[in-house]
Every structure is written in C-alpha cells, then in structure tokens.
Amino acid sequence: MTATVPPKAPTFLGLPTAPRGVGHLRGDQSFPDAARTALRDGQLRANLGHATTTIRNKRAKVVGEVADWEQLRAAGKALKAATMAHLDEHLEELERQVTARGGTVHWARDANEANEIVTRLVQATGTGEVVKVKSMATQEIALNEALEAVGIEVFETDLAELIVQLGEDKPSHILVPAIHKNRAEIREIFARTIPGVDPGLTDEPRQLAMAARKHLRERFLRARVAISGANFGVAETGTLTVVESEGNGRMCLTLPETLITVMGIEKVVPTWRDLEVFLQLLPRSSTGERMNPYTSTWAGVTPGDGPQEFHLVLLDNGRTAVLADEVGREALHCIRCSACLNVCPVYERAGGHAYGSVYPGPIGAILSPLLTGVEDNASLPYASSLCGACYEVCPVAIDIPSILVHLRAEHVEAQEKTTAEAVAFRALAKVMSNPRLWHLAQRASRLGRLLSRGRPTLPNALPPPISGWTRSRDLPTPPTSTFVEQWTREHRSAK
C-alpha cells in the first residue's frame, strides 16, 4: 500500500469519524449542484420513476398482508435500541462465539484498517482474485479499489453490482445498485464488456441474466477466496447471516476455501430469536417479497463442508461516534432494506449519485453525515422536504425527518464564522418573538407592493435568496393589511 499518511481524521464528541481520503462516503459536489445535473437526465428520471414505483407498490401490497406489521416494526425498533445500549458486550460475545467455532475475528477502527486487514488476509492465501457477495460495508470502505491497488482482481457477483462494476459506474441504490440503468443500457454494457458474449444478445431479462450467469459460473468454480458483508451477526451463536435473491451469494459463501466477512459493528443482534423479527421485516420492506429466496447462515467453520478458513472483520469507521449522538444514533438501527429510498420523492428525481455516498436517499442523508461528521456532508441533511414518507415505511421506525432536522442544527451550530443566513435567521427570531417588532416587519413587507406596481404577483427576477423561489414560482403581491392588524382594528372600535 502507499506510504502517504492519510489526512487527519475528523472527530465527533472526541470520537473518530470515518477518515477522509478513503472510501465512498463523501461526494465531490454539494447535493443541490449534483441534483441539478441529474434532474436534466430524462433517461435517468424515467428509469428511476419506473423502478421505484414498481417496488413501492410491491412493498405496499405485501406489507398490507401482515396484520401485526406495526407491532413487528415496534419490536424491530425495540430490539435495535436495546442492542445498541450494550453494543460492546454483544460484540465481545460475538467474538467469543465465532472464535469458539473456528473463525478469527479482527477489529477494524476505520476503512484504512479494514482494507489493510482484508488485503493481508487475501495475500496470505496466495490467490490473485476474489469473488464478492454484494455488501454495503465493503462499498463504504472502497475495498475493491484497495485490493485492485495491490493487483488482486475483484469480481462482484450480485447481478446489479456486476452491471455497475462492468460499466465502471457507481452504485446508486442500496439494494439495486444499477437501478439507474434500464435493460437496453445493461445489454450495451454486457455486449461491450463480457468476453465472448453472444453477439446476438438482446435486452430480454432472461437473456441478460443467462449472460451474467455464464460469465460468473467460471469465477465461482475457480475462486479460492470470497468476501462478503453480513445482514446480521448473532452474538449468542456466532452466526453470520446473508439475505439475498439470486443465489450468487450462496455460491460465494460455500464454494471457496476462505471466506472473509466485513460487518459493520451495528449489525450484531443478541440472540438467534431476534432474527424472527428481522427476517420478516426485511424482505417485505426491501424487495416486496414475503420471503427472500436465499438466507444463508454460518458459524465459524465446519470440517469438510464449505470454507475451511473464516475471518470476520468488525468495522467501526465512525459508528461509535454515531452512537454517541443521542438523536442520530437511531440511524444505526438501519437494516438496509432501501424502502425509504423507494418512497422518497427527492431520491426518485435526483437519483442516488447526487448524494455522493454509497448510502443515498433518506437514510444516506442522515447516515453519511453522521459517519463522516456533518461538516463533511453538510448539504445532505437539507436534501429533503421533510415529507415523512421515509419514516412511514421504515421497518425499524427510524424517525429520519427528526434526525435530518437535528443534523441541520448541528451544522448551523458548528459554524465558527457567522453566515449571512444566520444573521437573517437571528434577526427574524428577534422580530418574531417581539409583537411590536413583528408588526413593524409585516408592515415593511408591504413595500413589496411597490415592486409589483398593481399586478397580482411580484416580478420574476428578484435577488437571491428570493430568486430561488421566483425562478419557477410566482410570488403573490403582499396584501394591504395583515389579518391580525385588521381584526384588531375592527374589533377594538366596536368594544
């Protein structure tokens, strides 16, 4: 690896947040700028609109079938909150149990440490290539890039993740990383990048799936090392769990000799029974299925069956700092179902790339700034109209709108220099808490009438920040009198 010292890591409440210069948690543009470009992409808008509407309706249907859905949600939330309150103990128990069953546990403080550990483990096997199960944690730390930097070839095996990898693209959705691509675009990527692909390949879903299957089959059979994430890690039994639809994950988890799992520390659950709740909540919220086709669970190693070497890398990368935030810590309850993305009107229009992080949509708008420290992702908490659709569907009832509002305040309160906005809001607060000043200010707003010169609306071209409104919307001309003023005048004279 390179010898450059990574830039000094930012901290929150004295705890390290995810370090800069590694991983995919920070974008290079603010959300409004990135969204402005994305909004002009008609193909993207059509693809996303179509895909999110389909999943949204599927989810609503299967969730509607469950009579005790609200109780299940409450149970999921309670289990997560109780687990987070004793996270350290559950993690140590997980370590004991994994170790007792022949696995090895590694603790990674951040993305750099995790990448180093995994790279070292892969190199020790002497192999030059690895197959991967779809995993958000490894995307977060940019593990693929770290492995490729030392000459190890990485093959994503999840179909959507493969599309992204072959297209040299970035994931734009937690569950369906290639949601921004349609079938015709996928056909083009496959035809261009898969060696020896049938030149007559069409965009028929089955043909596309078969082309990917043929391409992947060879990799599965020859791979000696697989890398995965984990949906859940059960402390009492040391069991890791991966939930998927395609079976490609199952191939990776069973065929190679060595399995390396990178798991965020918040994925631990205390008992096997807890899965009862989460395995009901997750598939219905995520793919809109009653049950997902493949749920793989394993504990340590089993002689003569499956991988004979198992490593679990427990990743912090800012999570402890998130846990220290009383309001924000709920974001760690996320089970990555992506329901909040699919219902979000902002996500549906701007797309996942506009968030600049592997975690897009409503959960990304809180989790990314929480992991990096809010100043490194300061525009994300504002990337929401606070409509509340995310909170309504979240299977573990994370109050995303309240956390967004909290992070906005954290951002405002972190400013050392006074901004023009702060000056305006502070002045307005003074005015709005003093009735006499408030009435004067309301009267002053009537000066707007001079601008409209008798027309019912104000002119379109006004200076910022009002231009943000008037570029696309008319602003009514202020009335000659406020309600309170008129009411008070009329009712005083009659008394």
Instruction: Give the residue with the Cβ less far from other proteins, 8 or 495.
Output: 495
In whole angstroms, give the CA distance from residue 167 to residue 170: 9
- For the sheet with 153-156, list strands across it: 104-108, 309-315, 258-264, 225-228, 129-132, 153-156
Q: How far is the CB of 79 from other proteins (least distance, A)?
A: 24
Q: Does 398 bind ligand SF4 (CB under 6 A)?
A: yes
Tell me phi and psi for residue 420, to 5 degrees.
-60, -35
In whole angstroms, give the CA distance from residue 286 to residue 292: 9
Residues 185-224 as x/- pattern, contact with ligand SF4 by CB under 6 A: ----------------------------------------
In whole angstroms, give the CA distance from residue 439 to residue 149: 65
Q: Does 394 bind ligand SF4 (CB under 6 A)?
A: yes
Q: Does 479 bind other proteins (CB under 8 A)?
A: yes
Q: ∠ CA 349-355-356 to the nearest 5 degrees?
A: 135
Binding segment (CB under 6 A) for ligand SF4, from list 35-43, 228-236, 308-316, 338-346: 338-346
Strand partners, 108: 315
In whole angstroms, give the CA distance from residue 334 to residue 330: 8
Q: Which of 72, 230, 339, 365 binds ligand SF4 (CB under 6 A)?
A: 339
Any idea how long the chain is?
495
Which of 122, 169, 124 is closest to 143 using CA atoms?
Answer: 122
Q: Does 206 bind other proteins (CB under 8 A)?
A: no
In whole angstroms, give the CA distance from residue 256 to residue 310: 11
Q: Does 59 bind ligand SF4 (CB under 6 A)?
A: no
Q: Does 338 bind ligand SF4 (CB under 6 A)?
A: yes
Residue 395 binding target from ligand SF4, other proteins, none, CB below 5 to 8 Å by type: ligand SF4
In whole angstroms, give the CA distance from residue 470 to residue 463: 9
Residue 338 binding target from ligand SF4, other proteins, none, CB below 5 to 8 Å by type: ligand SF4
Residues 334-363 as x/- pattern, contact with other proteins by CB under 8 A: -----------xx--xx-------------
Residue 387 binding target from ligand SF4, other proteins, none, CB below 5 to 8 Å by type: other proteins
Q: Does 243 bind ligand SF4 (CB under 6 A)?
A: no
Instruction: Give the residue with the Cβ less far from other proteins, 189 or 389.
Output: 389
Q: How far is the CB of 49 from other proteins (least distance, A)?
A: 9
Q: How far is the CB of 182 from ligand SF4 (least distance, A)?
A: 23
Q: Does 35 bind other proteins (CB under 8 A)?
A: yes
Peptide bond into 465 cis (omega under 30): yes
In whole angstroms, give the CA distance from residue 467 to residue 473: 9
Q: DSSP characters for 254-288?
A: HSSSEEEEEEEGGGEES-TTHHHHHHHHHHHHHTS
Binding segment (CB under 8 A) for other proteins, from list 76-84, 172-180, 278-286, 425-433: 425-433
- Size of interface with ligand SF4, in residues (CB under 6 A): 14
Q: Which of 35, 98, 312, 363 binds ligand SF4 (CB under 6 A)?
A: 363
Q: How far is the CB of 281 from other proteins (least distance, A)?
A: 20
Q: How far is the CB of 76 from other proteins (least distance, A)?
A: 19
Instruction: Give the residue with the Cβ less far from other proteins, 252 or 350.
Output: 350
Strand partners, 295: 243
The count of other CB atoms within 10 Å of the CB of residue 217 is 12
Sites for other proteins among residues 376-405 (CB under 8 A): 381-389, 391-392, 405
Interacting residues of 201 by C-beta distance below 8 A, sequence separation 6+: 187, 190, 191, 207, 208, 211
Residue with tokens 């390179």: 2
Q: Does 102 bind other proteins (CB under 8 A)?
A: no
Instruction: Give the residue with the Cβ less far from ligand SF4, 225 or 350.
Output: 350
Binding stretches for ligand SF4 (CB under 6 A) = 285, 334-340, 363, 393-396, 398
